[in-house]
Structure 1
Amino acid sequence: MCTSRPADRRHRRERLHGLVRIALAPLLVMSTSCAVGPDFSRPATPTVDKYVQVDRQSFAAPAGVQTLSPAVSVRDDWWTSFGCTAIDRAVDETLTGNATLEGGQASLRRSDDLLRAGAGVFYPQVDAQAGASRQRYSPLRIGVDAAPSIFNLFTLSATVSYTLDIWGGERRQVEALAAQADAQRYALAATYLTLASNVVNTMIARAAYSDEIVATREMIDLLREQIHITEVQVAAGAGAWSAVLSLQNEMATLEASVPGLEQKRAESEHLLALLAGMFPRDWSAPPLSLQDIALPAVLPQTLPSSLVRRRPDILQAEAVLHVASANIGVATAALFPQITLSASGGLDSTVLHSLGNASGQVWSVAAGVTAPIFHGGALWFQRRAAIDAYAESQAGYRQVVLAAFAQVADALRALEHDAQTVEAQTRAVQSAADALRLIKASYRAGTVGYLQILIADGQYHQARIAWLQATAQRLQDTVALYAALGGGLVPES
């Protein structure tokens, strides 16, 4: 019997290791440099240089001039520009207690955890097993006519496996998970922006309802006084009863409008409680008037090219597009062979205390290749479906961008028209106030009766209610502009 010398065995072992390294070197290079499927590139920014055809820089009205300035950035706490502590407190309550935000934060954490879990594929998978069994073995299974035996078997083993990511399918999968986490992050930012906008708009509407209720009740008191004077004139034979009926009808109409305004104010308060994550009975409504809300004088002016890099919904659509791009690579890699390396080792013994003896040592080293041959076209059409999904995401991204530009254009036009409306309503209020002042002077001179003062006063209150509505609309359209510009929650990337 011939035995090899230790030096010869060592030499053969070194040659074998060298051959293994040479054979695996191309695979290792491919696994770190090759990834099938398209490399994602961000969509090009729009080529338009303005949102509307006629680009105005300022919107003037007697209640205040609003100017667009590129030197002013969109702040993440943009609602503080209204200078109202009640609004600031309501927004803070919502951003800390809203249930939708809590769910969005949990979804973001889940996406981040899935990303970390997916990245585990880049590491070898190591498992350990231990077992104990009692068996009855019959030698007849291997053709030996001998008595069966009963014995105990204790095993302790470990396995290591690693799939070579030659075609980059696993990397594309992790890339898709990272893009999905980005999409969830931008969705959460969009939720923040939407909630803040809803709170500010609701607070403005609530203030307007309160002011309208006060003005309407003052008009009702004036009409009640007019009715009394008219009834006296009718009793004296100086007037017709139809005049009383007409005034009573007008007063009843105004009285009927008050519950509707109070209901709207109550609904706004209930909505604020809901947004803050509270029960309606637990939310305290601070007194608020439109006079307590300042109109932001200088508004941010951003270029259209930067809008797609700061609006959360656009960035979310871009991340969804990235996911679809990475999925093409995943589907493409499934068309090619996959190579898996594995090794296992263990200890077997029929006696527990001798489990570590060399006679019970077992091991294996293996490399496996799995190549798709025929799947009825499933893999091919899965790749086609991934390409179609990418095209669908492209269309969705374009639609989101167009809608965002339309919202900015709507807000800019609204601010222009709001300034015109407020200016006209201010003139109407001023004219009604001047008429009331002249009639009061005539009354003091004895040329007109007191009834004319009440009529002029009612006209003044009607003009003021219309002015309040126009002012509230201007404030809400300012909120719409901040929201359309992205709210400053995401810095331009």
Structure 2
Amino acid sequence: MNRYTLPLLAALALGGCSLAPDYRQPASPVPATVGDSGAPGDGVMLPGWRALFPDPQLRQLINTALDNNRDLRLAMLDVAEARARYRIEGAALLPSISANAEGARQRLPADLNQTGASTVQSQYGVNVGVASYELDLFGRVRSLKQSALQSYLATEEARRSARITLVSEVANAWLTLMADRESLRISQETLSAQQQSVDLVRGRVDLGLGSELDLRQAEAALETARANQARFQRRVDADRNALAVLVGAPLPALAGEDLDDPTVAVLPEVPAGLSSSVLRQRPDILRAEHALRAANANIGAARAAFFPRISLTGSAGTASAELSGLFEGGSKAWSFSPSVSLPIFSGGRNRANLDVAEVRRDQNVARYEQAIQTAFQEVADALAARNSLSQEEQAQSALVTATERSLALAEARYREGADDYLAVLDARRNLLDARQQRVAVTLNKLTNRVTLYRALGGGEQADQATLVGHATANQDAPRG
């Protein structure tokens, strides 16, 4: 150890304190339980999206979207940028050492030389030096590094949130496409039935058993069914386009799915009295908390600006007038230039910077509490809708059965001449509405499962890499 390494070691030893306030997690601004009332129960372990969506073609679409979606790709690039910024801030804690070699030759004219003759002077040097290394006595650099670390972790949570959102959006888009294809199939069946009715009524009119009014009503119903078919075909085409944008690649041929299949989307039962503390694991809430921690660290950097800043500049090496003499005895050269900057008057800039840092900390507290309240409402609404949607689906299925029987009776009465064709039109219209409404309710039930998956923060299976990334980043977090 020589005289030049001692100041550097002292700088590393002294730079351990921080003026940032101690972080305290804000109290949760929501009730202790979410959903049904009761004592707080255990948390719920959600499956990963592969277990939630067992359908193979939906899995394929989600995998393709995770590989190709541009929004998710931008989120991943944001993480890479934040990681690099964290490394930049962390590098300031260590001295920047560089090796330098320089040489200069200068000719002096005779009238500027004391000897009265022109001369050529040479100077060569090789040194290793430290340029403007700040002694972090008051934790300014450490606070900035901590802020960069928390910003990086917040960006990582944003990427995780974007991933969960993408999985949910692809699933919902796929379910919507399947529902509209089911509605299109119903409209095609209705169109076929209306065509048969027109043929039946026309035959009865030809036999003198029906009126022209019945025929015109049947033809109007036929054209209405044709318009409905075109409308649902347009919706199916739009659904495919929307799904293709989410997936980020051309869609493969999609087989029709029965929305009544219980394996289309599966979620475990959420216990009554679910503790609202599980909401803190949502990526958007974790992101808000990391942003709050970053703002808290920035207060430490703003406070440190009131104290002196000490910088060290030094170098050691050899110098000689001849290139061949650089490494000969007596050529040793060194320089050491410490500097101290003490703020005396800055026009209130430092005070204003501290006020800004404290206000931003308070803003992030409000955003964190707002994120928890939003999460609580989303989970509570999804849980409240879950049971009622199942009951509504059962009632709608019973309504379809009843309207099918009503149509059969109306058609039988019309054939027997006991009633006019208007009763058949009303019964068929009621059946169409009931069948379409049942598709809509079933779609709402399935998308509610996806919404609950998203509201609870997604499953663990899809985010193991994120958890590992957090553990690695936290190993670099400052201690002490």
Q: How does the TM-score come out when normalised to structure 1?
A: 0.82
Pair 1:331-2:297 in alignment? no
The equivalent of 1:432 in structure 2 is 403
The equivalent of 1:469 in structure 2 is 440
Q: CA–CA distance in 1 between the matches of 2:181 and 2:99?
A: 71
Pair 1:358-2:329 in alignment? yes
Kept in 2: contact 1:314–1:397 (CA 8 A): yes
| Residue of 36, 50, 54 corresponding to 2:19 | 36
Kept in 1: contact 2:51–2:266 (CA 8 A): no
3-state SS of 2:99 partner: strand
Pair 1:149-2:132 in alignment? no
Cα deviation, 1:173-197, whole Å, max 9, x if unaligned, reads 1100110111011001100110010
* Pairwise CA distance, 1:325: 0.7
Mapping 1:73-92, distance limit 5 Å: 73-77=45-49, 80-92=51-63
* Pairwise CA distance, 1:319: 0.8
CA RMSD after TM alignment: 3.3
Q: CA–CA distance in 2 between the matches of 1:438 and 1:231?
A: 20
Q: CA–CA distance in 2 between the matches of 1:289 and 1:145?
A: 105
* Pairwise CA distance, 1:440: 8.2
Q: CA–CA distance in 2 between the matches of 1:56 and 1:36?
A: 43
* Pairwise CA distance, 1:88: 1.8
Pair 1:300-2:295 in alignment? no
The equivalent of 2:473 in structure 1 is none
Kept in 2: contact 1:210–1:289 (CA 8 A): no
Pair 1:180-2:164 in alignment? no
Mapping 1:64-75, distance limit 5 Å: 72-75=44-47
Q: CA–CA distance in 2 between the matches of 1:263 and 1:371?
A: 71
| Residue of 82, 99, 120 corresponding to 2:70 | 99
Greater CA radius of gyration, 1 or 2?
1
Aligned CA distance change for structure 1 residues 334 and 211 (closer, same or farther; 3 Å): same
The equivalent of 2:474 in structure 1 is none
Kept in 1: contact 2:400–2:431 (CA 8 A): yes
Q: CA–CA distance in 1 between the matches of 2:214 and 2:30?
A: 65
Pair 1:124-2:95 in alignment? yes
3-state SS of 2:15 partner: helix
Mapping 1:269-418, distance limit 5 Å: 269-278=240-249, 280=250, 283-292=252-261, 294=263, 296=266, 298-301=268-271, 303-418=274-389
Q: How does the TM-score come out when normalised to structure 2?
A: 0.85
Number of residue pairs the alignment of both structures matches: 456
Q: CA–CA distance in 2 between the matches of 1:305 and 1:94?
A: 31
Pair 1:218-2:189 in alignment? yes
Aligned CA distance change for structure 1 residues 324 and 139 (closer, same or farther; 3 Å): farther
Unaligned runs of 5+ in 2: 471-480
Percent identity of paired positions between Structure 1 and Structure 2? 27
Q: Which range moved further: 209-218 or 360-369?
A: 360-369
* Pairwise CA distance, 1:267: 2.0
Q: CA–CA distance in 2 between the matches of 1:402 and 1:140?
A: 84
* Pairwise CA distance, 1:351: 2.2
The equivalent of 2:204 in structure 1 is 233
Q: CA–CA distance in 1 between the matches of 2:414 and 2:218?
A: 21
Give 1:151's aligned amino acid: Q
Give 1:31's aligned amino acid: G
Give 2:201's aligned amino acid: T
Unaligned runs of 5+ in 1: 1-13, 58-68
Kept in 1: contact 2:43–2:278 (CA 8 A): no
* Pairwise CA distance, 1:358: 3.4
Aligned CA distance change for structure 1 residues 297 and 344 (closer, same or farther; 3 Å): closer
Cα deviation, 1:199-248, whole Å, max 9, x if unaligned, reads 11111111111111111111111111111222223333333322222222
Q: CA–CA distance in 2 between the matches of 1:333 and 1:139?
A: 55
Pair 1:260-2:231 in alignment? yes
Q: CA–CA distance in 2 between the matches of 1:392 and 1:357?
A: 64
Cα deviation, 1:435-471, whole Å, max 9, x if unaligned, reads 4566788899x79799788975664444222211111
